[in-house]
Chains A and B, each alone.
Chain A
Amino acid sequence: MKVELLFWRGCPSHPEALEILRAVLDERRPRLPVELVEVETQDDAVRLAFPGSPTIRVDGRDVDDAGASGPPSLTCRVYRLPDGRPSPVPAREQIEEALA
Protein backbone atom coordinates (compact mmCIF):
# COMPACT_ATOMS: atom_id res chain seq x y z
CA MET A 1 0.00 0.00 0.00
CA LYS A 2 1.30 3.46 -0.97
CA VAL A 3 0.30 6.55 1.00
CA GLU A 4 1.09 10.01 -0.37
CA LEU A 5 0.51 13.45 1.03
CA LEU A 6 0.77 16.15 -1.59
CA PHE A 7 1.06 19.69 -0.29
CA TRP A 8 1.69 23.30 -1.25
CA ARG A 9 3.54 25.49 1.25
CA GLY A 10 1.27 28.46 0.57
CA CYS A 11 -1.44 26.72 2.55
CA PRO A 12 -0.75 26.17 6.26
CA SER A 13 -2.85 23.03 6.65
CA HIS A 14 -0.45 20.25 5.64
CA PRO A 15 1.27 19.81 9.04
CA GLU A 16 -2.13 19.23 10.64
CA ALA A 17 -3.12 16.82 7.85
CA LEU A 18 0.14 14.92 8.28
CA GLU A 19 -0.45 14.71 12.02
CA ILE A 20 -3.92 13.21 11.51
CA LEU A 21 -2.62 10.85 8.83
CA ARG A 22 0.27 9.62 10.99
CA ALA A 23 -2.05 9.11 13.97
CA VAL A 24 -4.34 6.92 11.88
CA LEU A 25 -1.40 5.01 10.41
CA ASP A 26 0.09 4.44 13.87
CA GLU A 27 -3.12 2.66 14.81
CA ARG A 28 -3.83 0.81 11.61
CA ARG A 29 -0.60 0.34 9.66
CA PRO A 30 2.26 1.35 11.92
CA ARG A 31 5.13 0.56 9.55
CA LEU A 32 3.63 2.17 6.47
CA PRO A 33 5.64 5.21 5.34
CA VAL A 34 4.10 8.45 4.09
CA GLU A 35 5.52 9.83 0.88
CA LEU A 36 5.53 13.64 1.03
CA VAL A 37 5.23 15.36 -2.33
CA GLU A 38 5.67 19.13 -2.47
CA VAL A 39 3.79 20.89 -5.24
CA GLU A 40 5.59 24.12 -6.06
CA THR A 41 4.27 25.39 -9.37
CA GLN A 42 1.05 25.42 -11.35
CA ASP A 43 2.77 23.12 -13.85
CA ASP A 44 3.41 20.69 -10.98
CA ALA A 45 -0.26 20.96 -9.99
CA VAL A 46 -1.37 20.08 -13.52
CA ARG A 47 1.13 17.23 -13.86
CA LEU A 48 0.08 15.72 -10.53
CA ALA A 49 -3.66 16.49 -10.95
CA PHE A 50 -3.39 18.33 -7.64
CA PRO A 51 -6.74 19.90 -6.69
CA GLY A 52 -5.39 21.75 -3.66
CA SER A 53 -3.43 21.39 -0.46
CA PRO A 54 -3.39 19.00 1.28
CA THR A 55 -4.25 16.00 -0.87
CA ILE A 56 -3.89 12.50 0.54
CA ARG A 57 -3.90 9.49 -1.76
CA VAL A 58 -3.88 5.80 -0.87
CA ASP A 59 -2.69 3.69 -3.77
CA GLY A 60 -3.39 6.67 -5.99
CA ARG A 61 -6.96 7.13 -4.81
CA ASP A 62 -7.94 10.36 -3.10
CA VAL A 63 -9.32 10.00 0.44
CA ASP A 64 -12.02 12.51 -0.52
CA ASP A 65 -13.74 11.59 -3.77
CA ALA A 66 -15.85 14.74 -3.72
CA GLY A 67 -12.89 17.08 -4.09
CA ALA A 68 -10.56 14.87 -6.08
CA SER A 69 -11.62 16.09 -9.49
CA GLY A 70 -11.24 19.81 -8.79
CA PRO A 71 -9.16 21.84 -11.24
CA PRO A 72 -5.39 21.63 -10.64
CA SER A 73 -4.48 24.62 -8.52
CA LEU A 74 -2.08 26.03 -5.94
CA THR A 75 -4.76 26.66 -3.35
CA CYS A 76 -6.09 25.44 -0.02
CA ARG A 77 -8.52 22.59 -0.42
CA VAL A 78 -11.93 22.57 1.25
CA TYR A 79 -13.07 19.38 2.97
CA ARG A 80 -16.36 18.69 4.73
CA LEU A 81 -16.41 17.17 8.19
CA PRO A 82 -19.04 14.51 8.97
CA ASP A 83 -21.24 17.22 10.53
CA GLY A 84 -21.04 19.30 7.35
CA ARG A 85 -18.66 21.98 8.59
CA PRO A 86 -15.93 23.11 6.17
CA SER A 87 -12.39 22.20 7.05
CA PRO A 88 -8.94 22.69 5.49
CA VAL A 89 -8.02 19.08 6.34
CA PRO A 90 -9.82 15.78 5.73
CA ALA A 91 -11.73 14.15 8.54
CA ARG A 92 -9.98 11.36 10.37
CA GLU A 93 -12.85 9.09 9.28
CA GLN A 94 -12.09 9.73 5.61
CA ILE A 95 -8.50 8.61 6.08
CA GLU A 96 -9.54 5.58 8.10
CA GLU A 97 -11.98 4.54 5.40
CA ALA A 98 -9.36 4.92 2.68
CA LEU A 99 -6.93 2.71 4.63
CA ALA A 100 -9.51 0.01 5.42
Chain B
Amino acid sequence: MTLAARAVAPDFALSGVDGSTHSLADYADADVLVLVQSCNHCPYVLAWEDRLNAIQREYADRGVAIVAVCSNDATTHPGDSFENMVEHAREKDYAIDYLHDEDQSLARALGSERTPEVFVFDGERRLRYHGAVDDDRDEHAVATHFLRDALDAVLAGGEPEVTDTPAVGCTVKWREG
Protein backbone atom coordinates (compact mmCIF):
# COMPACT_ATOMS: atom_id res chain seq x y z
CA MET B 1 0.00 0.00 0.00
CA THR B 2 1.29 3.44 -0.91
CA LEU B 3 2.50 5.64 1.92
CA ALA B 4 -0.39 7.62 3.41
CA ALA B 5 -0.72 11.39 3.15
CA ARG B 6 1.38 13.13 5.81
CA ALA B 7 3.20 9.89 6.66
CA VAL B 8 6.85 10.28 7.60
CA ALA B 9 9.51 9.47 5.00
CA PRO B 10 11.11 6.06 5.49
CA ASP B 11 14.78 6.02 6.38
CA PHE B 12 17.26 4.58 3.91
CA ALA B 13 20.94 4.13 3.25
CA LEU B 14 21.55 3.38 -0.41
CA SER B 15 24.44 3.40 -2.84
CA GLY B 16 24.41 6.27 -5.29
CA VAL B 17 25.78 6.36 -8.81
CA ASP B 18 28.32 8.86 -7.45
CA GLY B 19 29.93 6.06 -5.42
CA SER B 20 28.69 7.35 -2.06
CA THR B 21 26.11 5.99 0.33
CA HIS B 22 23.13 8.33 0.75
CA SER B 23 20.80 8.31 3.74
CA LEU B 24 17.66 10.25 4.58
CA ALA B 25 19.70 12.31 7.07
CA ASP B 26 22.07 13.39 4.29
CA TYR B 27 19.22 15.49 2.87
CA ALA B 28 18.44 17.22 6.17
CA ASP B 29 19.30 20.61 4.70
CA ALA B 30 16.68 20.31 1.98
CA ASP B 31 13.43 22.16 2.63
CA VAL B 32 11.67 19.69 0.37
CA LEU B 33 12.81 16.17 -0.49
CA VAL B 34 11.38 14.44 -3.55
CA LEU B 35 11.86 10.69 -3.88
CA VAL B 36 11.15 9.34 -7.35
CA GLN B 37 10.73 5.64 -7.97
CA SER B 38 12.60 5.23 -11.22
CA CYS B 39 14.72 2.96 -13.38
CA ASN B 40 16.71 2.95 -16.63
CA HIS B 41 14.66 0.90 -19.04
CA CYS B 42 11.09 2.20 -18.78
CA PRO B 43 9.84 4.36 -21.66
CA TYR B 44 7.73 6.40 -19.25
CA VAL B 45 10.82 7.24 -17.20
CA LEU B 46 12.66 8.13 -20.40
CA ALA B 47 9.82 10.42 -21.37
CA TRP B 48 9.75 12.25 -18.01
CA GLU B 49 13.34 12.23 -16.74
CA ASP B 50 14.45 15.35 -18.62
CA ARG B 51 11.64 17.25 -16.91
CA LEU B 52 12.75 15.98 -13.50
CA ASN B 53 16.29 17.06 -14.28
CA ALA B 54 15.06 20.51 -15.30
CA ILE B 55 12.95 20.84 -12.15
CA GLN B 56 15.93 19.92 -9.99
CA ARG B 57 18.10 22.55 -11.68
CA GLU B 58 15.37 25.16 -11.38
CA TYR B 59 14.47 24.44 -7.74
CA ALA B 60 17.90 23.61 -6.30
CA ASP B 61 18.39 27.17 -5.05
CA ARG B 62 14.99 27.03 -3.36
CA GLY B 63 15.99 24.08 -1.18
CA VAL B 64 14.57 21.19 -3.18
CA ALA B 65 16.43 17.89 -3.52
CA ILE B 66 15.17 15.34 -6.01
CA VAL B 67 16.41 11.79 -5.54
CA ALA B 68 15.66 9.01 -8.01
CA VAL B 69 15.64 5.45 -6.74
CA CYS B 70 15.91 2.30 -8.83
CA SER B 71 14.61 -0.80 -7.07
CA ASN B 72 14.00 -3.07 -10.04
CA ASP B 73 15.19 -6.64 -10.00
CA ALA B 74 18.22 -6.58 -12.28
CA THR B 75 18.21 -10.34 -12.66
CA THR B 76 15.03 -10.11 -14.73
CA HIS B 77 15.74 -6.60 -16.06
CA PRO B 78 19.52 -6.37 -16.50
CA GLY B 79 19.15 -2.93 -18.04
CA ASP B 80 18.40 -1.70 -14.52
CA SER B 81 21.62 -3.00 -12.95
CA PHE B 82 23.72 -0.64 -10.87
CA GLU B 83 26.37 -0.50 -13.59
CA ASN B 84 23.72 0.57 -16.09
CA MET B 85 22.37 3.12 -13.61
CA VAL B 86 25.80 4.72 -13.45
CA GLU B 87 26.00 4.80 -17.23
CA HIS B 88 22.44 6.08 -17.62
CA ALA B 89 22.95 8.94 -15.16
CA ARG B 90 26.15 9.92 -16.96
CA GLU B 91 24.53 9.81 -20.40
CA LYS B 92 21.56 11.88 -19.24
CA ASP B 93 23.70 14.30 -17.23
CA TYR B 94 21.60 13.78 -14.12
CA ALA B 95 21.33 16.78 -11.82
CA ILE B 96 19.46 14.51 -9.41
CA ASP B 97 20.95 11.87 -7.14
CA TYR B 98 20.30 8.34 -8.36
CA LEU B 99 20.28 5.58 -5.75
CA HIS B 100 20.22 1.80 -5.94
CA ASP B 101 17.61 0.13 -3.73
CA GLU B 102 18.94 -3.34 -4.38
CA ASP B 103 16.96 -5.10 -1.64
CA GLN B 104 13.83 -3.14 -2.59
CA SER B 105 13.30 -2.07 1.04
CA LEU B 106 12.71 1.59 0.19
CA ALA B 107 10.25 0.73 -2.58
CA ARG B 108 8.35 -1.48 -0.16
CA ALA B 109 8.37 1.20 2.53
CA LEU B 110 7.06 3.78 0.09
CA GLY B 111 4.54 1.34 -1.36
CA SER B 112 5.74 2.20 -4.85
CA GLU B 113 3.98 0.62 -7.79
CA ARG B 114 5.21 2.43 -10.90
CA THR B 115 8.17 4.13 -12.53
CA PRO B 116 8.18 7.06 -12.47
CA GLU B 117 6.28 7.68 -9.23
CA VAL B 118 6.86 10.83 -7.20
CA PHE B 119 6.81 11.31 -3.40
CA VAL B 120 7.15 14.90 -2.11
CA PHE B 121 8.16 15.33 1.54
CA ASP B 122 8.13 18.64 3.37
CA GLY B 123 10.71 19.96 5.84
CA GLU B 124 9.39 17.65 8.55
CA ARG B 125 9.64 14.86 5.97
CA ARG B 126 5.93 14.28 5.83
CA LEU B 127 4.35 13.20 2.55
CA ARG B 128 2.59 16.12 0.89
CA TYR B 129 2.18 14.94 -2.70
CA HIS B 130 2.28 11.54 -4.36
CA GLY B 131 1.83 10.49 -7.97
CA ALA B 132 2.71 11.73 -11.43
CA VAL B 133 5.16 14.45 -12.44
CA ASP B 134 2.48 16.11 -14.55
CA ASP B 135 -0.56 15.16 -16.58
CA ASP B 136 0.96 14.18 -19.91
CA ARG B 137 3.84 12.06 -21.10
CA ASP B 138 4.23 14.47 -24.02
CA GLU B 139 5.82 17.55 -22.53
CA HIS B 140 4.24 19.71 -25.23
CA ALA B 141 0.76 18.63 -24.12
CA VAL B 142 1.09 19.17 -20.37
CA ALA B 143 -1.74 21.18 -18.85
CA THR B 144 -1.19 20.63 -15.13
CA HIS B 145 2.25 20.50 -13.54
CA PHE B 146 1.49 18.43 -10.43
CA LEU B 147 5.04 18.26 -9.08
CA ARG B 148 5.91 21.90 -9.72
CA ASP B 149 2.59 22.99 -8.22
CA ALA B 150 3.18 20.84 -5.14
CA LEU B 151 6.72 22.17 -4.71
CA ASP B 152 5.54 25.76 -4.99
CA ALA B 153 2.77 25.18 -2.45
CA VAL B 154 4.94 23.39 0.10
CA LEU B 155 7.80 25.88 -0.25
CA ALA B 156 5.28 28.66 0.39
CA GLY B 157 4.10 26.89 3.54
CA GLY B 158 0.78 25.90 2.06
CA GLU B 159 -1.10 22.79 1.03
CA PRO B 160 -0.84 21.49 -2.54
CA GLU B 161 -4.15 21.80 -4.32
CA VAL B 162 -3.68 18.27 -5.61
CA THR B 163 -2.10 15.83 -3.17
CA ASP B 164 -2.47 12.52 -4.98
CA THR B 165 -2.61 11.45 -8.62
CA PRO B 166 -2.26 8.07 -10.31
CA ALA B 167 1.34 7.40 -11.32
CA VAL B 168 1.51 6.36 -14.97
CA GLY B 169 4.38 4.12 -15.94
CA CYS B 170 5.97 0.71 -15.83
CA THR B 171 5.46 -1.56 -12.85
CA VAL B 172 8.20 -1.90 -10.26
CA LYS B 173 10.00 -5.15 -11.05
CA TRP B 174 9.84 -7.04 -7.77
CA ARG B 175 12.11 -9.89 -6.86
CA GLU B 176 10.44 -13.29 -6.79
CA GLY B 177 9.99 -15.02 -3.47
Contacts and interface: CB of A to CB of B under 8 A. Distances in A.
Interface stretch (B14-22, B40-48, B145-153): B40-48
A78 B77 contact: no
B70 to A, nearest CB: 14
Contacts of A77: 43
A85 interface: yes
B46 A11 contact: no
A88 B43 contact: yes
A13 B76 CA distance: 20
A75 B46 CA distance: 14
Given A75-B41, A75-B77, A78-B41, A86 B171 contact: no
Interface residues on B, range: 10 to 19
Most chain A CB neighbours (cut-off 10 Å) among B43, B76, B170: B43
Nearest to A12: B168
Contacts, number: 34
B169 A78 contact: no
B47 A88 contact: yes
Given A73-B77, A88-B137, A78 B168 contact: no
A11 B47 contact: no
A75 B42 CA distance: 8
A11 B137 contact: no
A87 B168 contact: no
Interface residues of A, number: 14
Contact of B47 (A73, A75, A86): A86
B41 A11 contact: no
B47 A85 contact: yes
Interface in B144-177: 168-171, 173
Contacts of A82: none
B31 to A, nearest CB: 32
> Which 4 pairs show the lowest CB-CB distances between chains A and B?
A86-B46, A88-B43, A78-B43, A76-B170
Interface of B: 41-44, 46-47, 76-77, 137, 168-171, 173
Given A76-B41, A78-B41, 6 more contacts: A12-B169, A75-B170, A76-B42, A77-B43, A78-B43, A86-B46
